[in-house]
Each structure stands twice: as C-alpha cells, then as structure tokens.
Structure 1
Amino acid sequence: MEHKVRDPALAPRGKQQIYWAERNMPVLMRIRARLEREKPLAGLTVAASLHVTKETAVLVKTLAAGGAQVILIPSNPLSTQDDVAAALAEEGIGVYAWRGMNEREYYNAIGFAISHNPDLTMDDGADLTVSLHKLAHGIADKTLDYVTEVAKGVDFVKVASKIRGGTEETTTGVIRLRALHKEGKLLYPIIAVNESYTKHLFDNRYGTGQSTWDGIMRAANALIAGKVVVVAGYGWVGKGIAARARGLGARRVIVTEVNPIRALEAVFDGFEVMPMSQAAEIGDVFITATGDIRVIDLDDILRMKDGAILANAGHFNVEIDVEGLERIAKSKRTIRPYLDEYELPGGKRVYLIGEGRLVNLVAAEGHPSEVMDMSFANQALAAEYLAKNKLGIGVYKLPDELDAEVARLKLEAMGIKIDELTEEQRKYISSWELGT
C-alpha cells in the first residue's frame, strides 16, 4: 500500500511495541482470531482516523485480518508514534502519519484517506467524517483546500454515498456527529462507540485518569503530593483524573463544572466545587476535560499563581486559551520536551504542557493497552456490525449484547468468573405477576 511515514527504519522498534500491546490486549486478539477465520470485512476499505499508537496498531491489524484494506491517518498532529507508523507501513497498511504534522499536512492526510474511496470510516474526534461531509455539502473551510490538494478530482458526494457507515470513538466526536444529524446533514450511519459501557466507563475514567497524570509527570516531573489540583469538568474523564489526583496525594482536588448534577456528584464524591475564576487563584495544576472552548480563559490565567501548570485532557486544543496566552506573554521558551514557559505581564510564569493538546498522547503514550483492549474491541465489532447490517442514517449505540460480550471476554481473559441467573431468577425478574 502507498504510505507516508517519518522514517521506515524505525519499523523494528515499532514491531516490538506492537508485540507488547498485543500481549496486553487479549480481548481484541480473541476477536482477531475469529475475524481471521470468518473474513467478514473481505473486499471492504476502512479509512481510520485514530491516534497512531501501538494499541491502534493492534486494532488495525485485526481489521486487516478480517479481510479489510486499511488506510490509517492520525486524529491529532502530535500523537503519532513514528516507530509504530513505520511498522504498520512495512506490513502493508496504508499509513499517512508522522508526529508533529502542521495543519496542512494533517488535512492532507484526510485527503489521502478520502481518496481511497472507503466503505467504512473510523474516527476519533470526527475530523475525517466532518471534513468529508463539508466537502459533500459544499461548505467552505480553509482546511478543506488542504484536503483537496491530495484528494484531487474526487467526487465527494459519490464517496459519501458509497460508505456503509462509520464509527466514532470520543465524546467530542459524538457531539459533533449528533449535531450534524440534527441539522439533517449526516450522510451515512454512525455507531457511537464511545457510548458503549465497556468504552466510556473504563477508557474515559481509568484510561484517561491514569494516562493524563503520566503525561503531566513526564513533561513537568512535578510531585503531585501536596499540590492543589483543579479539574475542569466532571464527566467520566474528569472523574478519573480527580480520583487519580487524590490517589497521588494532592492536598486539595477542586472541580469546576457548569452542570449542577455533575457538580453535586463531585461534592458527594468528596471534592471541592467552585467557579474557575475562584479556583484559578489557588490551583497549582490545572487540567481541562470538558470538550468545550476556553474553559480556562485569559482572565483565569492572569489570576494564577507563579509556576502554575496547565494541561488539557480534552480532544481538541481549544479548552485553554492558548492564542490569548501567546498574545499577551512577554516571553516564551521551551524548558523541557512538551513543556513551555510563558512569562506574563507582571513577571509571573505559567507552564503549558503539549501546546494545550491531548496531554496523555502528546507527553506520554496514551492509555494503557489493557483498557484500550475493550475500546478497540468495540471498534472492531462495530466495523463487523456495519459490514453485516444495513442501517438507516442516524447515530447509533452498539448493540448491548456486543457490549456485554466485550465485558465477558475481558473477565475471561482475567481469569474471573461470575454467577449466572437460574431459570427461576430469570422468570422472576422478567415477570409482572410475581412479588412479595
């Protein structure tokens, strides 16, 4: 397959990384063995816009084992592991990815994926899906010029009409695609993989909870014990980050929220809750996890104490007002890899990790393989489901029985057994007649 990676010579190291991930992803490996026998994806092209990591490589190789031709592009300019990209290219995957892409290169990659006329799309953040829909609907966007530089002469309406369906991995992406459907512009069915319990209950909470702190500690080498940590957003990602902050010995963990139910939940979980304007004055480490824009704005940054550390765990680099920070900073310098120091008017300094992009993938390796095992098992099963079933246009949840199958396989791989309902118990909980 045609490919474009940073350095093909990195392939041997990438293969070792993929091997390690495969050792720790038993659910997906079980699914791979079945797909390899049955070939449900034979003859189909899958265009996947995902973080190009060793875990993603296990998913991609599983899709290929099921008979698919796979095109892999990144879903973030800074998250690609170049050795993994090289290893996949050597194994015949159409990879167009390298770490540190600029905006033009990132959207060129989307053009590369679209130009292969896919049957299925697989997304993390919805940039691939949304770009194709904008082009098909004739919606102007500067980034689309970069897409069409590579996808020259492509009939985007025809490409979209051929697609059987797509999948979406993230909360942010699902929000975008539901909005697209609400406006009547969605052109093919989407399975919201993020809504599977074995995805968001584990990946978002335990995976991001751990890997976010991994990225912060690698970048800043900061001691978390004794610090005041501020977590913006108390969805599943925020819950995981706050819980891990407490476990690392943070002196205070403060949550900021706009949703009263989530704010109340944070209070009942034992965390302080207050507005960001108040938290900004007392926090040592700030982490955004909301999916919204300028959650930490310039006024908040100017209130922060000298030495405050800022990190983002949301999908896009819009949650921290990086543009405003760049505009007012007296100076900027890189102190450590992925750690930039900004001197503010008045002499205070704040430290931004990874340009405000996904801290766990920019400054670390992303989620542990064990948790991505379930997330990507859902992706593989969603691709198979779309290949076998014709869905109407809409945004769907993966069937509950497939979600439960992922959990069953994970427990089996961990050597854990659970009880089963007796016939009497099944009858009791399914009947309206039986009671006290």
Structure 2
Amino acid sequence: MNAQPHFDRGHTDDLAAFIAACPSPYHVVATVAERLEKAGFAQVAETDAWGGESGGRFVVRGGAIVAWFVPEGATPATPFRIVGAHTDSPNLRVKPRPDSGAHGWRQVAVEIYGGPLLNSWLDRDLGLSGRLVLRDGGTRLIAVDRPLLRVPQLAIHLDGKVNEQGLVLDRQRHMQPVWGLGAVDEGALIRFAAGEAGVEASEVVGWDLMVHDVQPPAYLGRDREFLAAARLDNQLSVHAATAALAAAAGSSDLPYVPVLAAFDHEETGSESDTGAGGPLLGRILERSVSVRGGSYEDRARAFAGTICVSADTGHAVHPNYAERHDPTHRPMPGGGPILKVNVNQRYATDGVGRGVFAEACDRAGVPLQEFVSNNAMPCGTTIGPITAARYGITTVDVGVPMLSMHSARELCGADDPFLLANALKAFLEA
C-alpha cells in the first residue's frame, strides 16, 4: 500500500469556505461551476449541439450539475467513472404565500423540506437564500447571510415537563419563524428579497427560497479534530467530488471518462427532473457517447463497463447511543471514509463495488471503514440504488462518518473530507 497521505487542513479550510458560500442548492451549483471553469471546463446548454472533442464540460439545470472530462483517445465505447452526490439538505422552505403572522408578530410561512431534526432549528439565527425567477426568464441568486429570522422555542416556564416528557413539535404550528412586529404585510418578504437581489419586486414571478443557519463552519475539539457546520450532508461530498474531478482532468492516459453528478432533491426521494430518479444523467451520458460517433452498441458497452460511487455522509458511532449501532460496525471520525452496506439494497454496495473502491483507497493510502445498520434500526438510503437500477451500472455507496445527521448543524472528523477526496480522485483516475 502507498504511504498515508499527509493530512492537509487546507482542504478542510476550503470545504468550510465552500459551505459558507453555499446556503442553497443553487449556490452549490454556481460555486461548483465556477471552480470547474477555473479548471478548464466549459458549460454547455442542453439545447445546443455538442461536439465530440476531448476536454471538460458541464451542464447546469436548477439545483443539479453534471460534469465530465473526455480524455484524449477516448472511444465511443469508453466506460464512465461516476461520482454521484446531492446538493440539497433538509431545511425550512418558503411557501408560495409567505407572509403570515399572529398576535402582532410578523412571520414567514415555511414548509418542512426533507427530514430535518426539527428541534435543531429552534432558537437559531437564520438567514434567507435561494433563487428568484424573473419575468424575462432569468434567475437571480439571493443570500441574506445575517440574522433575519428565528423559530422561537416555548419557555420552560410554559412547558414545565418538557425535559421529562420530551419536546413535541407540530410541523405546522410550531415551526413558523418570526421576523418582525406589526400586522401581516402581504408581499413584504418578496419585496425584501428582491431588494437584496438588486431587482424590482414587480420583475419577480417565482421563487425557490429557504432559510439557513448563519453560524459559520468551525473547527471543534481540544485538538481541533472535528468540523462543525451546516449542510455537511451532502455538501462535503460535492466539494470532495469537485476537487477529485478537477484533479483527475489534469491526468494523462485516463482509461475512463470521469463524471461528477450532483443531483437535487435527494432528501425528498430524488423524483424530479433534477433528481437522481430523473433522466438528466442518462441523457448526458448517452449524448456524450453519441457525439463521439457512438452507436447503441457503443452505448451499451460503455454502460456495461461503468462504475458509480454514490458519495453521501454516513453515521459515526454515537458515544451516548452506542446501542443504536451494529456492535461490530462502529465507524469513527478520523478513520477514513466508510463503505455502506445493506443487503436489502437501501445501499447499492456489492462485492464488486466494494473491491473497486477498496482498491482505490489502497492506491491513495486512505484507510477504509465499514458501516451496516443495527438489524433493529431502520436504514436510510441514497442515490446509489436509484443509479444502479435506472442505468444498470455497478454502484457502491460510500461516505464520511458523522454525528447529528439532518441537524441544522452537523459534525464530522476534520481530516475525513481530505481522505474522501483522495479516495475519489484515485477512483476516477482508475
């Protein structure tokens, strides 16, 4: 095995900056696109004719981005090496009629997105982010990254048994944030958002807005061995995959076409035009084969040799709830990425995929851990099984172990993002 990589906190510093710049999936896509352009990739529109020449390209659709690099000498039947991830995180999303309130308080009507730990959103300073859709068909990103909203918890004096009986939150009544005083002012939120984006409110015809925790990422622990941040699930993987693809694109004699597929809507089931359950990735891969002169036979051969790594965060053993974990599979922060296994196909890993990723970790000098759920606990899922079933390609589920998954603020080992990026680079370079 190669020597262990030198731990580079510069990668984790960059991850922290990435997360701070990406309060919404749309900001994730814009940031990834900017980084890929600096690495020599060019954006192409789905409505344009594509060429078959070598080089890096990417497609943006809403909160999703797919990028690929065609090496010199690639044939139409050259297989792909794909890293799949997702840009979205559980949070609170603004409703179509956002202005509400009661008893002299002005509030913002929100809908619960995905499966957040609701209590983690209480009593936090929240900003506003997302995109505005303009009358001319364009969009404008917005990021109000200062304390603007708050979901206030009921004082213990008015809920005296909460510490004994547990906190019960009604998703409709108890999760609406406050942001001012006075009577309900129809149109106030969108006027405010338009002003922050530098456009006239009359030009705004639609929006996809959400709230986010404005506390910046930070190192934590006696030796700064942890990273605490919002949206580690799954911006950590998107960041690592972007770095890996940019590095792989600088390699010579690649035997595969490396691909990054960062989807939206994983937290709600992936069934959308920008989710892993939609046709976006398949169409792009098929067009890549076709513009290189490929036939249906070439496409079938390319897909048959393709392997996908589904990179998402996973569970580290919790010191206060160790009984919730499998007694023989207890991943730890700092121990490297985890290989996620579930025989009921909640994860797509099989023996073949395991071997491919383990070999990549071995070449990169990266330690590898394993995760399987306690048989008495439900198992989450990822884009992995969707990709495997939809395209018939070998898929392996991996990730970084963490605590507080789906909290407004999550926790991982500070060195694990760097280890994951090294493993993904070795996988893409094959």
> Under a length normalisation based on structure 1, what TM-score does the superposition of the two structures give?
0.29
TM-score of the superposed pair, with normalisation by structure 2: 0.29
Where relative contact order (Cα < 8 A, 6+ residues apart) is larger, the structure is: 2
Name the one with the larger strand percent.
2
